[in-house]
Amino acid sequence: MSHPASPNGTAARHPLLRALSLLAPTLLLAVTACTGAPADARADAEPATPQVTGPLCAALPTGTDPGNPTFLAGQPVDQALRWIPTLTTFEAALRTSGVLADLPAGTSVTVLAPTDDAFAATFSEDNWDDLMTHHTDQLRTLLKAHLITGTHPIDDLATAGRTTTLDGVTVTVTVTRTGPTAARLADRADTVCADYQATNARIHIINAVLGPLPVTADGTDHRAH
């Protein structure tokens, strides 16, 4: 059987071939758009490895160890704090008080996180347990003295010279040494490993507890961690 002649030849007799011929220019443009970006632009999209600084950093997870700075940079701040082994007391207090959970969704925060040793030097075991169990309002006030709205590298805080914590108190920030920078807060606490990053957060580990509560440890009743 003979077929009638077609002005489009083979393409007219085969609809699939005709569709592919029409799509070819579009596919070519799409491939060009995907591969045409400069290599430098694609490289700029790679996140930089967080650089933590301070004398305590060498004793904390590094490289590919669980809890290393690069891993923590992709974690929510409450989860990141759980991975830093010297912050168990502070992390538990934040979790118990619900202070972080009360922040509006998407709020960025800078955390001034005292070490376990800092809490042990400030509170006896009984005092701390009583605060955690029976004095939630005082605990929340204490923790707000360690939180700042916004994500602030330690160099930026030191350059500004002061900052205001969530409890409304203005804290002085002074440089104690350079290369890398170490800072002193409220003339009481020094940064010992600064500039951890987390999702919408910066974490600076400090060696003393801030806030209005009195020192209660007498040097003989340290809590075990």
192: left (phi over 0), alpha (psi -120 to 50) or beta: alpha
Quick check: helix, strand or coil at residue 136?
A: helix
Q: Peptide bond before 180: cis, by omega within 30 degrees of 0?
A: yes
Instruction: Compute CA distances 12 → 8, 24, 26, whole Å.
Output: 5, 17, 20
What are the structure tokens assigned to 113, written together?
Answer: 């996180």
The pTM assigned to this predicted structure is 0.76
- Residues 96, 83: Cα–Cα separation, whole Å: 17
Please give the pLDDT value at position 14.
52
Please give the pLDDT value at position 34.
44
Structure letter (DSSP) for residue 183 = E
In this prediction, the residues of the chain whose per-residue pLDDT falls under 50 are: 1-13, 16-17, 19-20, 23-46, 219-225
Please give the pLDDT value at position 224.
41
Please give the pLDDT value at position 30.
46
CATH 2.30.180.10 range(s) for the chain read 57-206
Where do we find the tokens 């440089």?
A: 175
pLDDT in tens, 212-225: 876 565 544 444 43
DSSP symbols for 5-69: P-TTHHHHH-HHHHHHHHHHHHHHHHHHHHH-S-HHHHHHTSPPPP--BSTTGGGS--TTSTT-H
Superfamily name and number for 57-206: FAS1 domain (2.30.180.10)
